[in-house]
Amino acid sequence: MLSDLLTRRTVLAAFCMAGLSLAACEKKAEDTPADPKAGATNKPAPSDKPAGTLRVGFSQIGAESDWRRANTESIKGEAEKRGIELVFADAQQKQENQIKAIRSFIQQKVDVIAFSPVVETGWEPVLKEVKESGIPVILTDRAVDVSDQSLFVTFIGADFVEEGRRAANWVVKSTGGKAMVAELQGTPGSAPAIDRKKGFEEVIKAHPDIKIIKSQSGEFTRAKGKEVMETFLKSSEGSQINVLYAHNDDMALGAIQAIEEAGKKPGVDITIVSIDGVRAAFEAMVAGKLNCTVECNPLLGPQLFDAVEALSAKKSIEKRIVTKEGVFEQAQAAEAIKTRQY
């Protein structure tokens, strides 16, 4: 329809006036689709997205946990709701796949590149390439360790050190400051594994009777959490473990199975605290098998696309956007589960 075409052009003009980068506007102009029904003579569009539609490349880590799946759904759902075209790539836990995806987003000339970095280090070269292309980068969920902070516009996500502190404070409170702790760490080299360990250790330093006697990565998955907990329990210190600190709920849920198979009562013989606050963790708390979960909100879609839209409108955005989270104990689980969104 001619009116459609005019609307698209108006949107395009408004979009360009709003101050998106010149390159982006040129691309939008070039992408203005021909409308065969209106008998338009413009060249066929290289992409079938309507002019003015924002296109965002997003590189996701994978689907290792319930948290991650909720995060992916939030991002996909929010893009769809706002009419933003999302080019989504799943890296299957590999940094090299994320780097490839980011390079392909540069080639596709997306308007914004967003990603959740699997590990903290090793991003400088590819982020420099993105900077040269003029495409802004938004980090979601996990941070990167780079010396040049201009390589990304903002980092949206939780404060993982604080989550680790919260888990430790809960252990101090519930054990009276005396515990033999087994720790299941997240993906080696990832921001949440590094920071959740750091925050936890920072708090227990003041409590000499709380000791971490076992600590290993369970890679944020249920299967690995179960496997590593089995080896903890079978080790010579296995019978001393009376607290489990898992860097995410999925590993705690796997460990619960291992504890049961070893003939012990999770939540009773071994007190368990984990991080995320996914539905299955609340169910385990209602069943008395998990004692506490420290919330980490995966529903980052709205904040991500608020930032994308603010960028395209040349509005200034904060360098660090922190998500708000709580701590939930068994006694609150039955009530809280009713309103959980993930």
**Cα four-point dihedral sign 15, 18, 24, 29:** positive
The residues, ordered by sequence, that sit 6+ positions from 326 with a Cβ below 8 Å of its Cβ are 277, 295
Q: Which residues pair with 327 in a beta bridge?
A: 294
3-state secondary structure of 140: strand
Which residues make up the interface to ligand GYE (CB under 6 A)? 64-65, 67-68, 141-142, 192, 220, 248, 250, 275-276, 296
Q: Smallest gap, in angstroms, from Cβ of residue 276 to ligand GYE?
A: 5
Q: What are the phi and psi torsion angles at 30 (to 5°)?
A: -65, -30
Q: 3-state class of 74 per DSSP?
A: helix
d(CA 13, CA 52): 8
| Minimum gap (Å) between residue 64 Cβ and ligand GYE | 5
Nearer to ligand GYE, 32 or 185 (CB): 185
Residue 251 neighbours by CB under 8 Å, 6+ apart: 184, 186, 218, 219, 220, 221, 222, 224, 225, 228, 274
Nearest approach in angstroms of CB 246 to ligand GYE is 10
Q: How far is the CB of 284 from ligand GYE (least distance, A)?
A: 15
43 exposed, middle or buried (CB, 10 Å; 0-12, 13-18, 19+)? exposed
Choice between 50 and 192, CB closer to ligand GYE = 192
Give 255 or 296: the residue with its C-beta nearer to ligand GYE. 296
Q: Give 76 or 131: the residue with its C-beta nearer to ligand GYE.
A: 76
Query: Shortest Cβ distance from residue 142 to ligand GYE (Å)?
Result: 5
Nearer to ligand GYE, 183 or 276 (CB): 276
Residue 274 CB, shortest distance to ligand GYE, in Å, is: 9
Backbone angles phi, psi at 62, to 5 degrees: 165, -145
Q: Which is nearer to ligand GYE, 32 or 116 (CB)?
A: 116
